[in-house]
Amino acid sequence: MPVEKTACIKTKRLQDGSSEEVKCPFYDLCKADGYQAQFHRNADIYILASTYLGLHMPEVLPTPRWIMIDEAFFDHLIEVIEVTVSNLFVGPMGKFGPWILAALGEGRDVLEAFEKVGGTEDDLCEMRRYFYGLWQRQFNDIDPSVQDDVAFKRLKPLNPVFHLIDALVRAIGADKKRCPQVMLKRRGEEVSVTVSVKHPFLPKAPILNLDATADREIMSCILPEHEFLRIDVSQNMYVTQVIDHRLSKASLTVDQQAGRNVARCQRILDRHASKYERVLVVTYKAVKGQLNPPVGWHVEHFGALRGLDQYKDVDAVFVFGNSRPTEHAVESQAVALAGNERDLTLTGKFQDEMRGYRSKTKKRGVMTPVHPDPLVQALLEQVREGETMQAIGRARAVHGRTHPVHIYLVSSIPVDVTVDRFLTLDELAAGGSKLELLADRFNGVIPLSPAWLAESAPDFFANERQAKNWIARNWTQLANNIYSGMRLIEGTFRKKGQKGASPTRFAVVGQHYAPRAMLEAHVGELKQYDGPEDTHSLHYMEINGTRYYYYRNQEDQLELADIEVYRASEKLLSVLNDNQPQVTRTKNGTS
């Protein structure tokens, strides 16, 4: 719609041949100190919406010497327009509409079908003029003097079939035999046609584009001669990722297990409620209202994250799910971007492929939906992985943080971050893996004796056999110090009076100050010990029947283990802070 002439100012021709200027009653005020003022004042820097990249700039603005674009802009240059079946039978299009619809339904190309029934380029140009003229004529009777409500009732959108016709004209003009921009879309029993449109990139000046999730494949379709520079920066964050559930939108909204899955997500929030004060939670818009976050936590949804800066001081970010577009959506976008310049591999479906995580501990991978065409895959990742990266980026983990931001990726889709800790969805909802929960209960030192575990942790192991099977099943990971991303040290011991030829194994979690003393606190006096030595003395305070252990160094200063690798220390720190105000956090730990 020509907004300037329709709503602001217009020269109107009268019946006697003369003309008069008709303008909005607020035009002069707007020009002096309102929206219009920006086009009538000289400035060194002009800030405009990215939409202008595909529009002709207002004539009153000077020619730019250089242009800086912030964040993704390609989606402002492409458009996927839906044409209903009824639009295919309007006016002169009725002659060809049935053939076009039938061809698409049979998987044939629309341009081939059009030419097969005798359609010509002249027919297309005539239909294009007809629909555009029909739309354009309505503006003859609309000017700034017409009341808004009257104008809105009169205005009708351009019939979307115009874009279908225009796509065919452009394909013929480019000497193409096919027109992939026109595709059939099925949604249940409903059928429609979509037209992928690429608007020209109009600015003519040197361009600098800053985008945290920019993609070389996509950029080459818009600026073929661009120079792509990736700058990797270290982010101060500790990442936990779920590895057994993609947590799709359907799994939280319409699937049979949706209610259970939402409840698991809520348990994750509840489990961490006392751990963090300032938290950002990101999920699907349709799920946002189903979660009940703790007071002071904030919930945003995918698609509304770019540019948000109010979460730069959060302690943690929880990302539930991933924003995956449909196959038709990304293929339509790819067709729009590619135009008539390149051929695409359009299969209409994703296929699972093994994709790896980046991890400090162990090589891991997961079957992930991908697309065989590189451009379609890039567009898929721009939304699916890109929105997750945008969520992580809201925490500004590169801005001089003294403590890492805790990132929880509650979806198994791999993204471009280093994962410190892998858990299943149920483990995260329970507060951690079985090893982590045992480490928390037993203060970082776990005797790997089936009898001792069954007696000391009956809620984990109903009998010795369950404990023995768990140790056997996980020992390869335990022995290689890679379980759940936690740092482990293996050792052996023999209790005083212990029978049998073989010593008993134990595991030390993290950088423990007094592993031998803690082991003795669990099992009693030791006859033999082979493991890391104590560097501190072990002490405890008993509150309401519960022992809380802490350590003193050689200078008799109170200390706790490193919180990042020994999670049980968080419990101790909380209790000690409540009971001994002199406990403070220091560079090397807590003292």
pLDDT surpasses 70 at 223: yes
Three-class SS of 134-146: HHHHHHHHCCCCC
DSSP 167-211: HHHHHHHTT-S--TTEEEEEETTEEEEEEEEE------S-EEEE-
Closest C-alpha to 383, from 316, 318, 312, 329: 329
Given the structure tokens 């017409």, which residue do they identify?
146
The whole-number average pLDDT for the span 132-139 is 87
Whether residue 351 is predicted with pLDDT greater than 80 in this model: the reply is yes
Mean pLDDT, residues 25-29: 86
Which residue type sits at 84?
T
User: 0.75 cut: is pTM over it?
Assistant: yes
Which of 470 and 60 is assigned the larger pLDDT? 470
Q: Say if residues 514 and 552 touch (Cβ distance below 8 Å).
A: no
* Span 26-42, average pLDDT: 84
The DSSP bridge partners found for residue 366 are: 355
Question: Ranked by mean pLDDT, which of 120-124, 248-252, 555-559 comes out on top?
Answer: 248-252
**Quick one: average pLDDT of 318-344?**
91
Question: Helices 121-136 and 161-173: crossing angle, nearest 10°?
Answer: 140
pLDDT of residue 150: 80
Q: What is the model's pLDDT at position 563?
A: 35
Q: pLDDT band at 443, cuts 50/70/90?
A: confident
User: Quick check: helix, strand or coil at residue 112?
Assistant: helix
| Rounded Cα distance, 4 and 57, in Å | 13
- Average pLDDT rounded to a whole number, residues 530-536: 92
The two three-digit tokens of residue 476, written as one number: 């390869």
Mean pLDDT of the chain: 85
pLDDT of 80 reads 92
The strand pair at 237-242 and 405-410 is best described as parallel
pLDDT one-digit tens code per residue, 462-509: 999 999 999 888 766 555 544 455 677 889 999 988 888 789 999 888
Say what percent of the chain tops pLDDT 70. Answer: 91
Specify the pLDDT at position 126: 93
- How much is the pLDDT for 582? 39
Q: pLDDT grade, residue 515 (50/70/90)?
A: very high
Total residue length of the chain: 591
Residue 281 has pLDDT above 90, yes or no: yes
Average pLDDT over residues 371-391: 94
Which residue type occupies 267? R
Of the listed ranges 75-89, 238-252, 334-348, 534-548, the one predicted with least confidence:
534-548
Dihedral angle sign, alpha carbons of residues 29, 34, 36, 41: positive
Distance CA 167, CA 173 (A): 10
Please report the pLDDT score of residue 151 as a whole number: 77
Contacts 24+ apart (CB under 8 A), 139-147: 139/1, 139/2, 139/5, 139/6, 142/6, 143/5, 143/6, 143/10, 143/12, 143/22, 144/6, 144/7, 144/8, 144/9, 144/10, 144/22, 144/23, 144/24, 144/27, 145/22
pLDDT value of residue 417: 93
Tell me 326's DSSP state.
P
pLDDT (mean) for 134-139: 86
What is residue 76's predicted lDDT score, i.e. its pLDDT? Answer: 87
